Every structure is written in C-alpha cells, then in structure tokens.
Amino acid sequence: MGLLLVGLLGSASAQAADLLDVDYRPLAGKSEVNLEKTYGGKVLLVVNTASKCGYTPQYEALEALQKKYAARGFSVLGFPSNDFKGQEPGSEKEIQEFCTLTYGVKFPMFQKVQVTGPEATPLYQRLTAATKVAPGWNFHKYLIGRDGKVVAQFPSKVTPDDKALVAAIERELSVTPPTH
C-alpha cells in the first residue's frame, strides 16, 4: 500500500460559517439548502464526482461510509463536476439515475458545479484556499470536522475505504460536537 500523502491541517483559516455558509440545490432538485444550517456540526466528506471516470466505482465505498457512520453524525456530500476531461457530461437527472441505479447512492448529491479555476463554486474556492490544494481530478476528498474546518484532504487515488481516510473520519467523529 505505499505511503499516502494526507494533508492534515493544523490550522484552517475558514470558520464553519464561512466555509459552509453556502446554498446548493440537491441534485435534480428545485430548492437550495444552506450547508451550514443542514450539515453544521457534522463530520463531512466533500467529494467532486463524475460518472465516466476510472474512479467512478468509488461511489460504492462512499455510500458504505455514509451507511456506516451516518448515525454518528457523518455525511458524504457529492458534487458532480465536468471539470476533468468531460467525464460528467450528463444532465442532473441522468447523473442522479446513474448514481442511484448503478451504485445505490443515497448520500446527499448536489447540483453540478465547477470545482477548479476562476469559475469554481464558492465552496470549492474556500476548500482550495483552506488547504492550498485544488482537486487534481474527480473524486478528490476534503474532510471537514464538526467545527466546520477542513482537517484533511485526500487525492482521487485514495479510496474511501483506505485506512488513513477511515482513521481520519473516526478521529473526527470522536470529537465532541460543538454547542451552538
């Protein structure tokens, strides 16, 4: 298994309200939700996804993480993106059907967004600023602690069931939730 580069961040400049205080529409949905109001205080794994990528089978392991840890205050948040070689060309309805029918995805998926460059959506601008690492490909993962700060980022090749990623999730879940 080789040494994995995991960007553990001792001090992230983004506060919960700054990082997560953004509105996104659930995939193929009509009304936006505020991420801070909906997911604040949870441990989150934010992932940019694509349906026609070599890493697409990671959907299955992401759903397994969701099932395993949801009751403890964890959620995967998926953001489809067509930023890398056009690997997410479908409509939101097509993406939703693919994820549900092919991989049984039930974790929250949101509107198709840009995750890199000057047109990156505000959430991904903030994730990149906090970690100094923009997604290099589909299925880049950012782990956000209960306090709303990015605590780690994992490149695409790190699978959702990787020991280092799972250990980081477990570590964050062991932190007492903040009182609001």
Print pLDDT tens along the chain (180 aa).
333 344 444 333 334 448 999 999 999 899 999 999 999 999 999 999 999 999 999 999 999 999 999 999 999 999 999 999 999 999 999 999 999 999 999 999 999 999 999 999 999 999 999 999 999 999 999 999 999 999 999 999 999 999 999 999 999 999 987 665
* Cα–Cα separations (whole angstroms), residue 156 to 54, 96, 153, 172: 10, 21, 10, 21
Look at the chain and report how many structural domains it folds into: 1
DSSP secondary structure code for residue 45 in this structure: E
- For residue 143, tell me if it sits in a domain: yes
Nearest to 36 by CA among 171, 139, 149, 116: 149
- For residue 71, tell me if it sits in a domain: yes
- For residue 10, tell me if it sits in a domain: no
CATH number, domain containing residue 44: 3.40.30.10
Residue type, 137: W
Which residues form the catalytic set? 53
- For residue 92, tell me if it sits in a domain: yes
- For residue 145, tell me if it sits in a domain: yes
- For residue 1, tell me if it sits in a domain: no
> 76: domain range?
16-173
Nearest to 56 by CA among 180, 164, 159: 159
- For residue 3, tell me if it sits in a domain: no
